[in-house]
Amino acid sequence: MDAILVRGGAELNGEIPIAGAKNACLTLMPATLLSEEPLTLTNAPRLSDIRTMTTLLQSLGAEVQPLQQGQVLAMSSHDLTSRHADYEIVRKMRASILVLGPLLARFGEAEVSLPGGCAIGARPVDLHLKAMEALGAQIDLRDGYVLAKAPLGGLRGAVIDFPFVSVGATENALLAAVLAKGTTVLKNAAREPEIVDLVICLRRMGAQIEGEGSSTITIQGVDRLHGATHPVVTDRIELGTYMLAPAICGGTVECLGGRMDLVTAFAEKLDEAGVAVEETARGLKVSRKNGRLKAVNVVTEPFPGFPTDLQAQMMAMLCTAEGTSVLEEKIFENRFMHAPELTRMGAKIDVHGGTAKVTGVERLRGAPVMATDLRASVSLILAGLAAEGETLVKRVYHLDRGYERVEEKLGACGASIERIQE
């Protein structure tokens, strides 16, 4: 099994290209199911989750060309052979549930396994199912599968008022409503850049949608969608992760393709902690201001707030900041599983429910640690970059779901990091 070996202590200097967003690409790929014509995505990341979604779409009969050099993903759903999304594929990744809306909208039926993914809380799909029911679908749960059928004449537009913000449910509702009869209004909709990117792509395919980026999105259903070519938006979570690397280690790194509007709340916290973020013609340049970093308090919130997917990485940085930081996780329960591993490296972290108190230490110490989920895995690598001695991060198959070529990108900036076989 692969592991990542990090030898800490080196400053990082150079540039890191930021890939297309994993979470956006996984949402865009099921959109191919909505049309007989080809959908081509450019700037697609090369990740195991993208391969899993490719396998799922192929199992339904879609044609998906293997990701080519240059990150082009070409797909076509002109001749689907199945409406059944099998457990053996879906269990590997939560985003698989996003085939439900398109299958139901275009074909009037779908049979989708309940999904899996990272072990960071229950994350139920009830809001997805209630959205489909609001559009007129009949939903049955049987033997671990969602069995969905549209009424005669297809899905019908509706007002869907989400009781709380859900990115996935907003995406599934969008994917279903674009082919529904009449008007659909999504209230308390998610505002994430990945939602905006999906709407831009659907609009390129002929959908009629207004209000993306706000909490109310209006969709006027159309009879059919056509093909399109769409560039995947920059990955704001990978961007934030690599912005933390020079903050933790010292030095200056320019994140190519980075945009401040994708990470505004995060960049504000970095500034508060003593990290300078400068917009350039090519992206964002990051370096420490002066001396030791300062403790800051963080509360995770839906976009445009501080992202839950950067909480673990931020905690790694705050482990050596001066003072005591408090991190409050309001999006997912059970998302501090990286804390015990960081304490193995000498961090002082006290977790109570959804709150973690981090008291900074002068220096972390290298140790063997175990990744528990995707973002936790990269937080341990970041901590290893700042630690004395060697850190061995095990179970990095989590890492490969969301970060491409971590060793190459950090190594090019001076990090001592390598992938090894245990």
| Torsion over CA: 365, 370, 372, 376 (sign) | positive
Question: Per the annotation, does 217 bind a ligand?
Answer: no
Question: Per the annotation, does 125 bind a ligand?
Answer: yes
Residues 144 and 151 sit within 8 Å (Cβ to Cβ): no
CA atoms within 13 A on the CB side of 377: 22
Alpha carbon distances (Å) from 225 to 64, 90, 157, 168, 244? 18, 26, 17, 21, 41
Question: Per the annotation, does 331 bind a ligand?
Answer: yes
Question: Per the annotation, does 94 bind a ligand?
Answer: yes
CA atoms within 13 A on the CB side of 106: 22
Report the distance separating Cα 323 and Cα 346, nearest Å. Answer: 15
DSSP state of 403: -
What would you report as the CA-atom Rg of the chain, rounded to the nearest whole angstrom? 22
Residues 6+ apart with CB under 8 A from 383: 248, 316, 319, 342, 345, 347, 364, 391
Question: Per the annotation, does 261 bind a ligand?
Answer: no
Q: In the chain, what are the helix, strand and coil shares in percent, each to the nearest 5?
A: 35, 30, 40
Question: Per the annotation, does 161 bind a ligand?
Answer: no
Question: Per the annotation, does 365 bind a ligand?
Answer: no
Question: Per the annotation, does 127 bind a ligand?
Answer: yes
Active-site residue among 25, 118, 255, 319? 118
Question: Per the annotation, does 22 bind a ligand?
Answer: yes
- The one-letter code for the residue type at 42 is T
Question: Per the annotation, does 123 bind a ligand?
Answer: yes
Among the listed residues 398, 396, 349, 348, the one whose alpha carbon sits nearest the alpha carbon of residue 368: 396
Per the annotation, the verdict on 118 as an active-site residue is yes
Residues at the binding site are: 22-23, 94, 123-127, 309, 331
The binding site for phosphoenolpyruvate consists of: 22-23
Active site residues: 118
Annotated binding residues for UDP-N-acetyl-alpha-D-glucosamine? 94, 123-127, 309, 331
